[in-house]
Structure 1
Amino acid sequence: MASVFLVEDEALIRMMVADMVTELGHKIAAEAGDLPSALEYANSAVFDMAVLDVWLGRDSIEPVATALANRDIPFAFASGVGAEGVPERFRERPRLQKPFPIEQLERCFTQLLA
């Protein structure tokens, strides 16, 4: 079982993804819906991997991605707009296209934990 940090500004989507995480046998270590909270968790919380919404309102997720990269914590992006908005330096990271099925999330987790 791995612990997951979930960043998503839409509460219903965050709840749905959290349910998928637990259904896959993992646990939610932390959740954030805005940039200040996400940055705080990214810099201090303990977890195995993260799923990051590309945009939190008008805020780019890039500072959070940078913090996770600096801590060597694997992460993937979740986006409804494709590659646009994914910070250029992180374009090689796994990306989930919203809405995504649980099987895609499972494959993503396998990749992140490899």
Structure 2
Amino acid sequence: MAMLVEDGLLDVGATVLGPASTVEEALSMIETATSDGGLAAAVLDLNLGGCSVLPVADKLASLGVPFVIATGCGEGCDTGGHTEAPLLHKPFDLGRLTSAVQELL
């Protein structure tokens, strides 16, 4: 699934960093990207390697980086208070994801 998302984002002209398979890896990627000029936007799955991705969402929010949340959770899932982030419920159309990312920019 991550490869399909990456391909879809590349098709609309995005530069893709990742995917990350753990929260620690995602946080490390953010730190590296921040020192290399920053991030424009991100796509987060709420469950990353069996762990909540909310620490990653918190870090992105603190840096002012907008993000889309993709999730297999039903309505009312815990987004850690990140109500400003667009929420896409799986399965979603790749066009909806790329549109959501483009709207963030």
Q: TM-score, normalised by structure 2?
A: 0.83
The equivalent residue for 1:75 is 67
- After superposition, the CA RMSD in angstroms is 1.6
Shift of 1:101: 1.3
1:59 paired residue number? 51
Alpha-carbon contact 1:43-1:67 (below 8 Å) kept = no
Q: Secondary structure at the match of 1:68?
A: helix
CA contact (8 A) 1:34 1:56 kept: yes
Q: Deviation per CA, 1:76-110: give whole Å up to 9, x if none.
A: 100011341422x1133101122221220132023
TM-score, normalised by the number of residues in structure 1: 0.78
Larger proportion of strand: 1
- 2:21–2:48 contact (8 Å) kept in structure 1: yes
Q: Give the Cα separation in 2 of the matches to 1:73 and 1:37.
A: 17
Q: Deviations over 1:32-56 (max 9, x none)?
A: 1111101112233132110000011
Aligned equivalents of 2:97 and 2:77: distance in 1?
20
Match of 2:23 in 1: 35
Give aligned-pair identity as a percent: 34
Q: Which runs of 5+ in 1 are unaligned?
A: 1-12
Say whether residues 1:16 and 2:9 are aligned partners.
Answer: no
Number of aligned positions between the proteins: 100
Q: Does the 8 Å contact 1:76/1:108 carry over to 2?
A: yes
Q: Is the 8 A contact 2:68 2:85 kept in 1?
A: yes
Moved over 2 A (4+): none
